[in-house]
Amino acid sequence: MSSAIAENATVDHGPVDLRPANRRDEIQSQYQKERGYFDLLAYIASNAIAGEIMAVENYSEMVPLMPDTESKIETVKQAHEESKHILMLASLGKRHEYGVMREIVEPQWFNIRRHFSAAVANKDLAACLVIQDLMTETMAIVLYRTLQRQGDPDTSTLAGKILEDELVHLEIGLGRIRRMLAEAPEGVNESLKWAHHRVMPELFSMVSTSCHFLCDRLNIDCGSLTLGHLKTDIDAIRVEALDTYVETLDKANFDPCVTAPLIESMQMYGGTSTANAGLAAH
């Protein structure tokens, strides 16, 4: 932390304050950040931590389904990397003096975990990979890209570091799904449809500044939260999230004839026009 030392102070200017500057005050003064910005960061970081906790649990639960020792080790490594993200986000909150939750609070995360566990129980590895490595990672990438672009320098730097890991995880998932699609396309397509209708509504419902319990736990006014503090809005993030999801499915080599109806169905719960979501090619 930097020191707030009055430069060129003389006795005529009164006593010089040699105490360390409050990190929050420093950011407020240098980058014109208001209290609402820190409340929004507390909300976003807490949801991000919940997603990382869920990822640790998902990867850990998925390990026995992996087909060989190498892929099991790789999956354990992914879980470990997600656990580091939890500590990084909690440390960011401590530096900026806002509280974060280090547990899952919102019901959407529990619902996604329940669907993932159902896929594990059914030994549906494709559905597990789609849920964690494609769907959840895609939403995480959009979140961290937003923070990297529009957060204060400290937040931006940390988001960039986490983003690098998430992009690697996405590539791992894409490789796994491509191989499975090449071997059994019909089964993987069915797994995608099953996962899409259960998980994507939950993920998109969290692209908002309203919550069920999180704001109360953080002691912040949910009604006062606005993404304007990040110079963006809900619709812009939803469009980016949908575009990124479409791009992810394309990269995974899913047939557009399979994915187009799924993307179209997102109008029912995403509030996003597919006309603006990069679907012209489909």
So what's the pLDDT on residue 267? 80
Please provide the average confidence, as pLDDT, over all residues in the chain: 86
Nearest residue to 271 (alpha-carbon basis) of 233, 235, 241: 235
- The fourth-level CATH superfamily of domain 22-276 is Ferritin, core subunit, four-helix bundle (1.20.1260.10)
Three-state secondary structure call for residue 5: coil
Structure tokens at 125: 């590895």
Q: Looking at the predicted structure, is the pLDDT value of residue 15 above 70?
A: no
Helix, strand, coil distribution of the chain in percent, nearest 5 = 75, 0, 25
C-alpha angle with apex 246: 270 to 265, nearest 5 degrees?
40
> What DSSP line would sit under 108-159, residue for residue?
HHHHHHHHHHHHHHTT-HHHHHIIIIIIIHHHHHHHHHHHHHHS-HHHHHHH
Nearest residue to 78 (alpha-carbon basis) of 172, 178, 160: 172
Categorize the per-residue pLDDT at 280 as very low, low, confident or very high, splitting at 50, 70 and 90. Answer: very low
Q: pLDDT tens digits for 110-121?
A: 999 999 999 999
> What DSSP line would sit under 155-204, residue for residue?
HHHHHHHHHHHHHHHHHHHHHHHHHHHHH-HHHHHHHHHHHHHHHHHHHH
Q: Which residue has the higher pLDDT, 222 or 261?
A: 261
So what's the pLDDT on residue 146? 94
- Domain map of the chain by residue range? 22-276
Structure tokens at 33: 């950040």
Q: Find tokens 């240098």 and name the residue.
A: 30
d(CA 75, CA 169): 9
Q: pLDDT tens digits for 41-92?
A: 999 999 999 999 999 999 999 999 999 999 999 999 999 999 999 999 999 9
Three-state secondary structure call for residue 281: coil
What pTM does this model have? 0.83
d(CA 137, CA 62): 15
